[in-house]
Amino acid sequence: MPASPSLATTIRTHTCGALRAADAGAEVRLGGWVHRKRDLGELVFVDLRDRTGLIQISFDPRFTSSETVSLAATLGPESVVLVEGEVVARPTEMRNHELPTGDVEVRAKSLKIVGPSVAPAIPVARVRGEPLPAEELRLRHRYLDLRRPELQENIILRHRLMQTSRKFLSDRGFLEVETPILTKPTPEGARDYLVPSRVHASEFYALPQSPQLYKQLLMVAGFDRYFQIARCFRDEDLRVDRQPEFTQIDIEASFIDQDDIVALTEGLIAALWGEAGLEVPASFRRMSYADAMERYGSDRPDLRYELEIFDASDVFRDTEFTIARAAIAQGGRVRGIRVPGGSGLSRKQLDELEASAKSAGAGGLVRLKRTNGQLEGPAAKFLHDGAATQLALGEGDLALLVAGPNHVSSPALDRVRQDVGRRLALVKEDVRSFLWVTDFPLFERDPGTGRLAAVHHPFTAPHPADVAKLDSAPETVRARAYDVVLNGTELGGGSIRISDPALQSRIFSLLGIDEATASARFGFLLEGLRAGAPPHGGIAFGFDRIAMQLAGAASLRDVIAFPKTTAARALFEGAPSAVPREDLKELHIRIEEPGT
């Protein structure tokens, strides 16, 4: 990180956190918030805080007027004051080793209260070990919560990550271009946030779910390399790592292929993690989607621990174990994981694992453990003598198995795998496991309607080798799409786009979007592609999630200055809110009373 600039102004000469032993003897003027006060009668200490840290101010009648000491004694927490005084070294035994400024203090000569404060609704300076105030209060009094050094650090880190992204991309010829916030509604994907048009009755803008089409058109326009720290909006229910408005590092480039995006992205991630003082591998492991699903049951596997899924169908094929036989007869399999030393898990723990497998859709969880050379478990009696060897179970190992089609066993085993990894502390917490997942399927079939839907989005290019199968076997067509995953969390994803208008039309038609609809929704993209489009592709990162990872935060709310609640409310300013009837009338909107 470059040296910090001076934050000195006409009002202050230093910041609170900046003072060191070398400053002893300096006359300084400081401004800040009263963090804590210790009033010993004729001697008063104040910890003064700004975003750079804390410094102790002493008010001593030997060095200032008794009026000033009395004024200091009246200070309430969170008042803003200006202090003039001299930096003095503290006697050795009075140094505070917990503070970077703890070798010195400022001996105040004058004190001015410039921003008196009422008693804060939630404490900023907290009692050690006391839990944080309720999240509701933290959000309602956000200006106080944001004063806490922990949150300040998060927001400052976020700033640095943003600047790092800009510099990294700008240095590589990427141009930062803004795209509209008032844009066109899209029926695909997430629900849109709509904005009514005053000028055009009964018509609406939508806030962008991502700048996807605009960035492709910028490639058509010849800008060649684009990026944006883009705000995106999706009206879906929230999670601890999901906010209705969020920020993406959005990237697109021309005359590139997947490997170019991969190399660029690995560099960007190295720069971002480096900004947080962390190292990342020079290049990341890659795994196909098919491999990831087969071996880990997930398209974003956490590879900090093994517990790889294996196929145990052969062991059960000719047995009387009905559940397994039925699954195999219907084209399914018996798959599972081996848990080394897992025979020590208690009945209760195994029941809990089964419950989580069931909650992920499995019918049950078959347990087999090997003790004293023998297989034990409810299903053991169906198995022949060599089964333990065939399952490759060592002494004291446990196998956890799910029978059924892949779309049942994969998510169930993913859950079981994660639970086991956590319970047995198999997760190597100090490892950062980056992974590229590639060759996603282009389409998936909606189980309800049987219609094809785009896995990524409808502008994703099919794998050239699979184009011939578009009509005959569309579900087997691979996409030129890629996700980057860290420790089981998706950091970002992207694809090479379709640049051939004829192919784009064909994909629309496979997705059941007829020509008129395609033209109405995406006409501007199709026209653009017909106007001479370079091969192009890109990627987008969830910037908030990256900040959350690097800040070590437990919630996205802790890296966003003004986040929304789980119910998508802003408690601080009180959004959303009702509006005057006249405003609605101007927008040609009439509210249907609830319940009518």
| Using rule CB under 7 A, residue 212 touches RNA | yes
Report in angstroms how near the CB of residue 167 gets to RNA at its nearest.
Answer: 27
Counting contacts by CB under 7 A, is residue 39 touching RNA? yes
Collapsing DSSP states into helix, strand and coil, what is residue 585? helix
Of 26, 25, 2, the closest CA to residue 14 belongs to 26
The CA distance from 75 to 39, in Å, is 10
- Cα-based torsion angle of the residue sequence 347, 348, 354, 358 in order, rounded to the nearest 10 degrees: 150
User: Which of the residues 165 through 194 are near RNA (CB under 7 A)?
Assistant: 186, 188-191
Determine, following the binding rule CB under 7 A, whether residue 329 of this chain makes contact with RNA: no
Buried b (16+ CB within 10 A) or exposed e, 4-31: eeeeeeeebbbbbbbbeeebeeeebbbb
CB of 331 to RNA, least distance (A): 23
Output the smallest distance, CB 472 to RNA, in A.
22
Binders of RNA among residues 268 to 307 (CB under 7 A) are none
43 contacts: CB under 8 Å, gap ≥ 6: 58, 59, 60, 61, 69
Residues of this chain, 495-554, that bind RNA according to CB under 7 A: none
For residue 14, state whether it binds RNA (rule: CB under 7 A).
no
**Which one of 8-16, 377-385, 454-462, 502-510 is the stretch in contact with RNA (CB under 7 A)?**
454-462
**Judged by CB, which is closer to RNA: 325, or 358?**
358
496: Cβ–Cβ under 8 A, 6 or more apart, which residues?
256, 257, 258, 261, 460, 461, 480, 481, 535, 536, 537
Residue 273 vs 459, nearer CB to RNA? 459
Q: Applying CB under 7 A, which of residues 60, 84, 86, 294 lies at the interface with RNA? A: 60
Q: Which of 172, 200, 239, 428 binds RNA (CB under 7 A)?
A: 239
Q: From the CB of 555, what's the least distance to RNA, in Å? A: 5
Q: In this chain, which of 7, 24, 61, 364 binds RNA, going by CB under 7 A?
A: 61
Rule CB under 7 A: choose which of 456, 478, 536, 545 binds RNA.
Answer: 456
In the complex with RNA, the residue whose CB is nearer, 90 or 109, is 90
Interacting stretch for RNA, rule CB under 7 A, among 18-26, 240-248, 276-284, 366-374?
Answer: 240-248
Nearest Cα residue to 332 out of 441, 408, 280: 408
Site string for RNA, 120-139 (x = CB under 7 A): xxxx---xxxxxxxxxxx-x
Residue 406 binds RNA (CB under 7 A): no
Considering only 245, 555, 584, 587, the residue that binds RNA (CB under 7 A) is: 555
578 lines the binding site for RNA (CB under 7 A) = no
Return the number of the residue (129 or 580) whose C-beta is nearest RNA: 129
Please, what is the Cα angle at 126 between 125 and 127, to 5 degrees?
135
Q: Return the residues of window 19-38 that contact RNA according to CB under 7 A.
A: 36, 38
Q: Which amino acid is at 371?
A: T
Shortest distance, CB of residue 1 to RNA, whole angstroms?
27
End-to-end CA distance of the chain: 60
- Using CB under 7 A as the binding criterion, the count of chain residues that bind RNA stands at 73
Cβ distance to RNA smaller for residue 133 or 501: 133
Structural contact between residues 61 and 42, judged by C-beta atoms closer than 8 angstroms: yes
Q: Amino acid letter at 147? A: R
User: Could you give the residue ranges of the DSSP H alpha helices within 191-249?
Assistant: 212-220
Q: Is 560 exposed, middle or buried (0-12, 13-18, 19+ CB in 10 A)?
A: buried
Q: Of 9, 10, 62, 331, which lies in the binding site for RNA, with binding defined by CB under 7 A?
A: 62
How near is the Cβ of 486 to RNA at its closest, in Å?
Answer: 17
Residue 144, Cβ neighbours under 10 Å: how many?
A: 18
| 422 is a site residue for RNA (CB under 7 A) | no
- 78 CB contacts (<8 Å, ≥6 apart)? 33, 34, 117, 120, 124, 144, 147
CA distances 411 to 15, 33, 94, 358, 418, Å, are 53, 51, 59, 10, 11
Residue 514 is which amino acid?
A: D
Does residue 454 interact with RNA by CB under 7 A?
A: yes
Binding mask 558-577 for RNA (x = CB under 7 A): -------xxx-x-x------
Q: Least distance to RNA from the beta carbon of 137, Å?
A: 5
Query: Is 40 a binder of RNA (CB under 7 A)?
Result: yes
| CB nearer to RNA: pick between 313 and 555 | 555
Q: Are strands 194-196 and 374-376 parallel, antiparallel or unpaired?
A: unpaired
In DSSP terms, 537 is beta-bridged to 253, 496
Q: Judged by CB, which is closer to RNA: 120, or 340? A: 120
Q: Is 67 in the site for RNA (CB under 7 A)?
A: no
Q: Which window, 95-103, 193-201, 310-318, 342-350, contacts RNA (CB under 7 A)?
A: 95-103
At which residue do the structure tokens 């025979």 appear?
343
Residue whose C-alpha is closest to residue 208's, from 236, 183, 179? 183
Binding flag, residue 41, RNA (CB under 7 A): yes
